[in-house]
Amino acid sequence: MRILVLNPNTTAAMTAGIRDLAEAVASPGTSIVATEPLWGPESIEGHFEGYLSAAAVLDRLTTFDEPFDALVMAGFGEPGREGAQELLDVPVLDIAESAAQMAMMLGHSYGVVTTLDRAVPQIRDRLLTAGLLARCAGVRGTGLGVLELEADRERTVEVIVATAREAVERDGAEVICLGCGGMAGLRERVSKALGGLPVVDGVAAAVKFAEALVGLGLSTSKARAFAPPRPKTITGWPLSGRRPGIR
């Protein structure tokens, strides 16, 4: 099977990191295609950029020529997932939701360690909307911006570990979710520094869940909330391409 992993921002280096992780965890027989939107913000650290990115991601999907069996949306808590669910016939996994769901399989409660403090309410809202907040012990920011995560990998791990310790000690988290696609690849190091505490990477979780759903032949229900878009005129939309049915 082929899984499309879509980095919601336009930083190709981040796409590469996410692809590496996805490939590392994919089962034999699963191939990973990773890409990013054709336009949009270099990183997403707020709602304005998130909404631009949501459209850019949907735009990318309407023009993506290769077939794929599942979509992994690699923005942690970014908007847009429901739109892709309407648009596509294949399963769609959001990495924030996948991380939370996998964490709930591993412990009584989980904490999220993310980038900037300003992302905290947005992530909480996404988990609330997804019905996954009840077992969330807390969401904590590290103060590192998305692109800063790459700058000094050693320092990044240190800060994540320190923040994760607070999640464990003050919030009672039993599992840590890495709350940014840009943290891909740090899971083992963070877990080791935390004495083996389970650490979940959303991209990894989503890839495995995508394999699970495809393996069972299941995809998004079109019964109500995620029914296909109705045919209608989308005037002047600067989509890079056109999906059938959009005039």
By CB under 8 A, what part of segment 32-61 binds a second copy?
38-43, 45-52, 54-56, 58
Q: Write each residue from 93 to 132 as x if it is in contact with a second copy (CB under 8 A), else as -, in one continuous string.
A: x---x---xx-xxxxxx-------xx-xxx--x--xxxxx
The one-letter amino acid code at 6 reads L
- Cα(127)–Cα(32) distance, integer angstroms: 26
Q: Is 85 in the site for a second copy (CB under 8 A)?
A: yes
Q: Least distance from C-beta 152 to a second copy, angstroms?
A: 19
Considering only residues 164 through 193, tell me which ones interact with a second copy, judged by CB under 8 A. Answer: 168, 172, 174-175
Considering only residues 132 through 151, tell me which ones interact with a second copy, judged by CB under 8 A. Answer: 132-135, 145
Which DSSP letter does residue 230 get? Answer: P
- Give 28's contacts (C-beta < 8 A, 6+ positions apart): none
Nearest CB to a second copy, comparing residues 33 and 47: 47
- Cα(212)–Cα(27) distance, integer angstroms: 11
Counting Cβ atoms within 10 Å, is residue 3 exposed (0-12), middle (13-18) or buried (19+)? buried
Nearest CA to 173 out of 196, 189, 197, 143 is that of 197
Binding residue for a second copy, selected from 66, 89, 154, 235, defined by CB under 8 A:
235
Q: Is 31 in the site for a second copy (CB under 8 A)?
A: no
Nearest CB to a second copy, comparing residues 144 and 154: 144
